[in-house]
Structure 1
Amino acid sequence: MRRKWTSLVPVMALLVFGTACSDFLGSGGNLDTQDAADVADFMAATAIDGLDGIGIVGAPAASAEAAPPITFTRTFTVTRSCPAGGTVTISGKVEGEIDRDTRSGTLTESRTISMDDCARELRRGTITLNTADDAPIAVNGQVTIENGHHVAGSFTKTGTFEWSRSNGDSGSCTIDLTITWSRDGNTFTHTVKGTICGREIERTTTRTRG
């Protein structure tokens, strides 16, 4: 008998936000170090929130013979609401090869992230993020699958976004971040490292999901 599979669920929303601001433009004050770190954490955490869809659906039947791996390429577009208003749209492609017997393999993803008045509450008030229509944030990376579940990943995020505060401050930031993460059961650990708004960021955060 050969194993029967139901489907592969595509990676739909891995990394929603990306930040790093090397130059401050426009009127108003700058993002301070803590705010920059908070925005970076927010982006990485939102990325992890979309990882539940990665993996293989359905348990395989018993098999006495080896089956060829599943090779696939899929494209996707998803739009989500931001915590304090606005939206973020993620478009891209995921491709990879999954072993039918072990349900393990590696997925490679490339995507773009566009933010439209995407708002978040920080210590000094609401911050709103936007990307230019012709210059979305670029995300590239890989996800490791074991036994049908995502267990680790690494992504780079580059690009530029505009920010504004409820007090009238505004500016422009250049992104250059690397985000790595791992999963142990319902516990996610992610590390964000790079520059955001000209500030060096390196933070590790652990989150448990029920």
Structure 2
Amino acid sequence: MSYPHAPGDRATSGRGPSIDRVFDVEDGAPYETQRTVQRYLSQETRHNLLQVILGHPRHLVSVTEFDYYVPKSRSTISEQLADLADHEIVAKYRHEPNADRRDVPADFWSLTAFGVELLEEYNYLRGQPIMRAAHDATHKTETVQRHEDAPRPPLPEAVGEALEYDEPDRDDPPVETSIAELREETFYADAAPADPAVLNEDGDGDRTLDELF
């Protein structure tokens, strides 16, 4: 599965997904396009589903796994997966050898080539190591672990390569990181400053957080 246009491409030849077509936005309105895509990706359930896919060791997730990690009803999860699929961001991948087994799933959800390009453009892939660490640290029931260990189909080459990153060697001792180092390395825009006093550097006297909003 491959798509000839990257998400930022405004081509409208119809040969593959483009942001303009998928999100029904007008070419030549970049700010409105960005706002539309950001609003769509940040919807709580969709955002959580994408984070689960990014953090999963195989990036192929069963509905049972989604149901365990995302605090929403299974019907809501299925509805939002279908919506993401309608936007060509995710797709269902089937592993036919599992179909005759009752203890493991045959259907899995993951990103499309268009989906990984879109998430890369909107900086979602930068958080992948963090999501993987959170996934590994999460307690899993026997059923969820069995689903995680189940055989899966291969991802399309473009998807698999885009989601690869240098994972830490599990045999290496854990690296101790100080709070100061974490603050320097974080890329979250809303990270709190190490010294709260800097919030008042340009103000006259003390200001409370409430006054800032």
**TM norm structure 2:** 0.25
Question: Going by fraction, where is helix more abundant, 1 or 2?
Answer: 2
- TM-score norm. by structure 1 comes to 0.25
Larger strand proportion of the pair: 1
The higher radius of gyration belongs to 2
